Amino acid sequence: MLEPDDLKWIAKTSTELNTALQQIARYAEMAQKSRGDQDFLQMLGERSEAASRLSQALFDRVTGKILETTSGKGLADPPAARRASAPAAAPAETPVEVPADIPVKNPNGAREYILLIDDEPEIAELAAEMLAEEGYKVIVAKDGFEALKIFQRVNRQIGLVILDYFLPVMDGDAVFEELKALNPNVNVVLSSGFAEQNKIGAMLAQGLRGFIPKPYTRAKLLEQVRSTLDASRRPIR
C-alpha cells in the first residue's frame, strides 16, 4: 500500500516530470524555428535525460510498493527511487563554490552573487562594474542560453538575476519562464525600456520581483538590487 509519504513524493516527482516535458516541448519548437541551433538541441537533450530519469524513478517507486504489497515482504526502494527521493537540503546549507570555468567579476566580494543577462557588452560591463564596486560578485551572460546553462549549475548561489528583455532568439519572458522552472524561488528583476508594459504585467503576476527602466543610473540600479535582495529575506506575515 502506498503511504502518505509515497503519495507526496509521487506528486512532487510528477510535477517535476511535467515541467521537464513542457520544457522539452518548448525547446523542440524553438529548435525547429531556429533550424537546429545547437544550443536548443543541447538543452533539449538535457531535459529529455532529466524526464527519463524522473519517469524511471516513478516506475521504480510504484512497482516497488506493488511488489512489497503482493509479496508481503518489505522490499527496499530501488536505487533510482532512493536517489530521486533523497533530501536535497545539503547544497542549500553549504553551497559549493562557483566552478572556475564560470567567469566572476569581483569573486572575493562580500555581497551576493548576481547573474546579469544583457546582450549589449557596454551596458553589461558598466552595470557589472557598478555592482562589483559595491561588493557584489557578478556573473555576466550575453543571452538566455548562456544564462540558463550557468543557472542550471549555480542557481543556489545566485542571489539575484538582472534580466534584459530584448535578447537574441529568446526574449526575456521566455528566459524568465525557464529560470522559474529551474528554481521557482529565483529573484529576477527586469531591465528594459517602457515599451513592454503588457509583458511586464504578466511577468509580475508570475513572480517577477521588480523592474529597472533603461537607461538606469548607478543609484537606481543599486537601490533596486538592494531592496529586492532585502525583501526576499523578510518573513511573510
Task: Supply the pTM of this predicted model.
Answer: 0.64
User: What's the rounded Cα separation, in Å, for the pair 165 and 175?
Assistant: 9
At 123 the pLDDT is 92
At 35 the pLDDT is 59
At 44 the pLDDT is 64
Distances (CA, A) of 45 to 50, 52, 83, 132, 171: 9, 11, 21, 35, 21
User: What residues does each domain of the chain span?
Assistant: 4-86, 113-233
**Level-2 CATH architecture, domain 113-233:** 3-Layer(aba) Sandwich (3.40)
135 Cβ contact partners less than 8 Å away, ≥ 6 residues apart? 106, 109, 110, 111
At 137 the pLDDT is 98
- The helices-and-strands tally (H runs, E runs) of the chain is 9, 5
At 16 the pLDDT is 72
10-residue stretch averages of pLDDT, the chain, 237 residues long: 73 71 66 61 68 70 64 47 44 62 95 96 94 97 92 94 90 90 92 71 87 86 94 67
At 80 the pLDDT is 47
